[in-house]
Amino acid sequence: MGDNRNDDLDKGIGIKARRAIAYIVLAVISFFCLIWFYILLINATRSNGELTRGFTPIPSTYLFINWQNLLAGTLPIINGLVNSLIVSICSAALSTYFSCMTAYAIHAYDFKFRKAIFTFILAVMMIPSQVTALGFLQLVDGMGLTNSFIPLIIPSIAAPATFYYLKQYMASNLPLSIIEAARIDGSGEFRTFNTIMLPMMKPAMAVQAIFTFVSSWNNYFTPALILQDDKKKTLPILIAQLRSADFLKFDMGQVYVMIAFSIFPVVIVYLLLSKHIVQGVAVGSVKG
């Protein structure tokens, strides 16, 4: 009996020790992830002269002055925010919905060349966007869509990475028996997809919506090729223009304020969708 108690005590101490180590590692990782946001917010409160003298952990009093100077400049900041929101929200919605529909077709239907189509989509995922940029730009120019949001939104429907993630999620969390039961009950294919399958895919779609939103929000390469009018440019382009100002007009405080300003919509989107991510993790842990 004494040996058993000692073994249980040792196991309890071992579990507590591993848990303590895990908490310490997570705390260190969280610190290094968040410290850069703290530095960004601190620098946004400082003037250009203070920033040239080095970093200090204490906030300054130039936040509203930097913001006022930014709005008083020549760059249309509010227009850039609206443009980025339009492109990012539409891209995230279309990408997740149509990628989920494509994954559903590959998962739920048994048809010829299904594996070949799946392999082809994965092969497309390996092609960098820079390789096809010239042909894409020529196509957009030939269609008269230069300086338009359409070339930035519509191509997001074809998102191989989003499709692959949703397909793998369906394979482990969406039994085909549910689809068959819906068909037996007389449910049409679109009704089955929209009313039965989509609610079950909320956690995975929330994750991919965040990834797609952030990717589109931070995208500089493609919008810089297509958008030429300042009033239609997105925030990454305006930030690059602000950083490339000449020496007499360059103000690092304004740059930090604009970068901090551009981060808040991403944080808000994450907070709105985070509950679905937590639900997805909980479902995966229960099934595991």
Q: What average pLDDT does range 28-36 have in this prediction? A: 88
Examine the pLDDT at 96 and tell me if it is beyond 50.
Answer: yes
Q: What pLDDT is attached to residue 194?
A: 85
Q: What average pLDDT does range 210-239 have in this prediction? A: 88
Q: What average pLDDT does range 108-124 have in this prediction? A: 84
Give start and end residues of each alpha helix (H) in the chain. Answer: 2-44, 48-52, 63-71, 77-108, 114-125, 133-142, 150-153, 160-173, 176-184, 189-191, 198-200, 202-218, 221-226, 235-243, 252-287
| Contacting residues for 4 by C-beta, under 8 A, at least 6 apart | none
Q: How confident is the model at residue 25 (pLDDT cuts 50, 70, 90)?
A: very high
Q: In Å, how far are 83, 100, 190, 237 from 229, measured between CA atoms?
A: 12, 34, 40, 11
Give the residue among 227, 222, 236 at the shortest CA–CA distance from 130.
222
CATH code for the structural domain at 65-287: 1.10.3720.10
The Cβ-side half-sphere exposure at 182, using a 13 Å CA radius, reads 18
* pLDDT, tens digit, 9 for 90 and up, residues 225-283: 898 888 888 988 888 888 776 555 677 888 888 888 888 888 888 888 777 666 655 54
Examine the pLDDT at 9 and tell me if it is beyond 70.
Answer: no
Q: Do the beta carbons of residue 186 and residue 150 sit within 8 Å?
A: no
Q: What residue spans define the domains of the chain?
A: 2-63, 65-287
Q: What average pLDDT does range 103-125 have in this prediction? A: 85
Q: What pLDDT is attached to residue 5?
A: 58
Give the residue among 93, 127, 99, 84 at the shortest CA–CA distance from 216.
84
Helix (H, G, I), strand (E, B) or coil at 154: helix
Residues 234 and 152: their CA atoms lie apart, in Å, by 11
Q: What average pLDDT does range 279-288 have in this prediction? A: 48
Q: What pLDDT is attached to residue 34?
A: 85
Residues 150 and 152: their CA atoms lie apart, in Å, by 5
Q: How confident is the model at residue 115 (pLDDT cuts 50, 70, 90)?
A: confident
Question: For a pLDDT cut of 90, what percent of the chain falls above it?
Answer: 8
Q: Which residue has the tokens 């180590």?
A: 21
Examine the pLDDT at 41 and tell me if it is beyond 70.
Answer: yes
Q: What is the rounded average pLDDT for all residues in the chain?
A: 82
Q: What is the CA radius of gyration of the chain?
A: 25
Which DSSP state fits 197?
I
Q: Do the beta carbons of residue 258 and residue 239 sit within 8 Å?
A: yes
Examine the pLDDT at 86 and tell me if it is beyond 90.
Answer: yes
* pLDDT, tens digit, 9 for 90 and up, residues 151-207: 999 988 888 888 888 888 888 877 778 888 888 888 788 888 888 888 888 888 888
Q: 84 or 197, which is more confident?
A: 84
Sign of the four-CA dihedral 135, 138, 144, 148 = positive
What is the reported pTM? 0.81
Examine the pLDDT at 284 and tell me if it is beyond 50.
Answer: no
Residue type for 250, please? F
Q: What pLDDT is attached to residue 77?
A: 86
